[in-house]
């Protein structure tokens, strides 16, 4: 038993009281057969409850957004878990914190811009770590809701966002100082972003740089880290397995709502291939090729006075450098490349792709991709794909 949670006669232990209240309320709601199993899992879950207060401003990255310049607070509450090495990827990334957070900001309470809500799963990667102090990078991605959006009749001043529901992304550099067993002080700088990926225009997006301070509270006892002494220096049988090159082939579709500009919605098609080589336990690098067909480019050319006799002339082949960050069944891809052709060139010769790939079997995967041109979102694509390995070299001991 942890001596910190003992209550001595004639004294009141606030930490033990709060821990007991949270545990008891959840415990009593469960059926009797599930209580024993719940007690074991909760006491070893490394559960954290966090609260943060932010203060920042809206970054006007377009002239049309200057009217929203303001400084304002934001608030966040999160439930998270400190990993302890149960899975291999947790050890590879130095035991990150995973969780889900609820974010709210009034965005300066401008009646045209409205308020922002977001629910975002996240992962916090430790970069520098010692006994009580940790410096980490947090990446959060989820669903955002904005109370106001563009409407050509009732809210024509809002050129930032054309939809209520948007992707919400938070990037944070955070320091965490452990005060005692139960409390951790947190502070950091972050960027909160809302965008719908051009699913509905306008879509300049909302960018909010923020600073924050907060506390994390641990309601139950800690499950200690599993040290690297349990982690083999090489994977089992890796000394006799040949090297391999991985090929990922996939197809995606996306939508662009350009009724405000062209009076139509368009379906976009994207096929691609990534050839990858693993360079560490976490990473792969390689080269990618893709073809994209965006029929809105035909409408743009014709509106500008350029006739398009063959619609396939707007097909844009591309070549890119690819990087993958591996995390269990998830892969996070970044592709930076350039176009090799295509008749419509208003987006420029360069592009970026940010993708999340989930491998639901050895060979098949599903993915979501954001296509970007110099920081400006073009479209979001959803798709599936097939991957396979080609082995080379001899089965010899290293």
The answer to the question of residue 29 being in a domain is no
Residues 238 and 358 placed together within one structural domain of the fold: yes
Residues 217 and 157 placed together within one structural domain of the fold: yes
Task: Look at the block and give the residue holding tokens 């040290």.
Answer: 227
Domain ends where: 227, 248, 281? 227
Q: Which tokens belong to 322?
A: 């690819």
The answer to the question of residue 33 being in a domain is no
Q: In 3D, which of 213, 236, 191, 223 has the Cα closest to residue 43?
A: 223
Residues 207-249: tens digit of each pLDDT = 999 999 999 999 887 766 555 545 555 555 555 556 889 999 9
Could you give the CA distance from residue 161 to residue 209 in angstroms, rounded to a whole number? 18
Tell me how many domains the chain contains. 2
Residues 96 and 197 placed together within one structural domain of the fold: yes
The answer to the question of residue 3 being in a domain is no
Residues 330 and 239 placed together within one structural domain of the fold: yes
Mention every residue, 6+ apart, whose C-beta is less than 8 A from residue 170: 101, 103, 118, 120, 122, 138, 139, 140, 141, 190, 191, 192, 193
Could you give the CA distance from residue 261 to residue 149 in angstroms, rounded to a whole number? 16
At what angle are helices 14-29 and 32-43 packed, to 10 degrees?
140
The answer to the question of residue 26 being in a domain is no
The answer to the question of residue 191 being in a domain is yes
Q: Which tokens belong to 178?
A: 């452990």
Residues 157 and 297 placed together within one structural domain of the fold: no
The DSSP bridge partners found for residue 316 are 292
Cβ proximity of 244 and 235 under 8 Å:
no
Residues 88 and 164 placed together within one structural domain of the fold: yes
pLDDT tens string, the chain, 398 residues long: the values are: 444 444 444 444 555 555 555 555 555 455 545 544 544 455 456 889 999 999 999 988 777 788 888 899 999 999 999 888 778 888 889 889 999 999 999 998 888 889 999 999 999 999 998 889 999 999 999 999 999 998 888 888 888 888 899 999 999 999 999 999 889 999 999 999 999 887 888 888 899 999 999 999 998 877 665 555 455 555 555 555 568 899 999 999 998 887 767 778 899 999 999 999 999 889 999 999 999 999 988 988 888 888 888 888 999 999 999 999 999 899 999 999 999 998 888 788 999 999 999 999 999 999 999 999 887 788 899 999 999 999 887 654 44
Residues 257 and 208 placed together within one structural domain of the fold: no
Domain ends where: 227, 247, 277? 227
Q: Which tokens belong to 376?
A: 């400006």
Residues 198 and 241 placed together within one structural domain of the fold: no
Could you give the CA distance from residue 93 to residue 125 in angstroms, rounded to a whole number? 7
The answer to the question of residue 22 being in a domain is no
Output the pLDDT for position 140.
95
Task: Look at the block and give the residue holding tokens 């948007």.
Answer: 166
CATH of the domain at 185: 2.40.160.20
Cis peptide bond prior to 38, omega within 30° of 0: no
Output the pLDDT for position 152.
80
The DSSP bridge partners found for residue 54 are 74, 212
Domain ends where: 227, 256, 281? 227
Domain extent for 248: 232-392
Output the pLDDT for position 1.
43
Residues 103 and 213 placed together within one structural domain of the fold: yes
Output the pLDDT for position 40.
47
The overall pTM is greater than 0.95: no
Output the pLDDT for position 332.
94
Residues 202 and 275 placed together within one structural domain of the fold: no
The answer to the question of residue 9 being in a domain is no
Query: Exposed, middle or buried, 316 (CB in 10 Å: 0-12/13-18/19+)?
Result: buried
The answer to the question of residue 39 being in a domain is no
Residues 240 and 334 placed together within one structural domain of the fold: yes
Output the pLDDT for position 35.
46
Residues 256 and 297 placed together within one structural domain of the fold: yes
């Amino acid at each position: 038993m942890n001596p910190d949670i003992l209550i001595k006669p004639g004294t009141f232990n606030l930490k033990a009281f709060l821990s007991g209240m949270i545990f008891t309320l959840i415990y009593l709601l469960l059926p009797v057969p599930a209580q024993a199993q719940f007690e074991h899992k909760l006491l070893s879950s490394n559960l954290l409850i966090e609260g943060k207060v932010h203060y920042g401003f809206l970054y006007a990255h377009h002239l049309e957004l200057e009217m929203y310049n303001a400084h304002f607070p934001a608030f966040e509450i999160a439930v998270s878990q400190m990993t302890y090495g149960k899975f291999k990827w947790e050890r590879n990334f130095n035991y990150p914190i995973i969780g889900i957070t609820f974010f709210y900001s009034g965005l300066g309470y401008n009646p045209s811009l409205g308020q922002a809500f977001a629910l975002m799963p996240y992962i916090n990667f430790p970069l520098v770590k010692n006994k009580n102090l940790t410096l980490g990078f947090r990446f959060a991605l989820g669903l955002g809701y904005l109370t106001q959006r563009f409407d050509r009749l009732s809210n024509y001043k809002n050129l930032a966002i054309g939809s209520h529901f948007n992707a919400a992304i938070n990037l944070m550099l955070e320091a965490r100082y452990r005060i005692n067993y139960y409390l951790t002080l947190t502070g950091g700088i972050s960027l909160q972003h809302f965008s719908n990926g051009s699913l509905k225009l306008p879509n300049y997006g909302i960018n909010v740089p923020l600073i924050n301070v907060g506390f994390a509270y641990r309601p139950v006892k800690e499950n200690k880290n599993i040290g690297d002494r349990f982690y083999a220096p090489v994977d089992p049988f890796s000394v006799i397995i040949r090297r391999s090159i991985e090929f990922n082939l996939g197809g995606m579709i996306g939508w662009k709502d350009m009724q405000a500009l062209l009076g139509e919605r368009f379906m976009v098609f994207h096929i691609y291939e990534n050839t990858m080589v693993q360079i560490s336990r976490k990473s792969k690098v390689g080269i990618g090729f893709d073809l994209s067909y965006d029929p809105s480019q035909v409408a743009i050319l014709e509106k500008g006075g350029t006739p398009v006799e063959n619609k396939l002339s707007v097909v844009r082949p591309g070549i890119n450098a690819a990087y993958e960050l591996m995390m269990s069944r998830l892969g996070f891809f970044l592709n930076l490349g350039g176009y090799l052709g295509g008749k419509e060139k208003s987006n420029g010769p360069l592009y970026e792709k940010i993708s999340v790939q989930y491998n639901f079997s050895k060979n098949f995967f599903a993915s979501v991709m954001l296509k970007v041109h110099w920081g400006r979102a073009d479209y979001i694509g959803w798709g599936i794909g097939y991957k396979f390995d080609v082995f080379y070299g001899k089965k010899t001991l290293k």
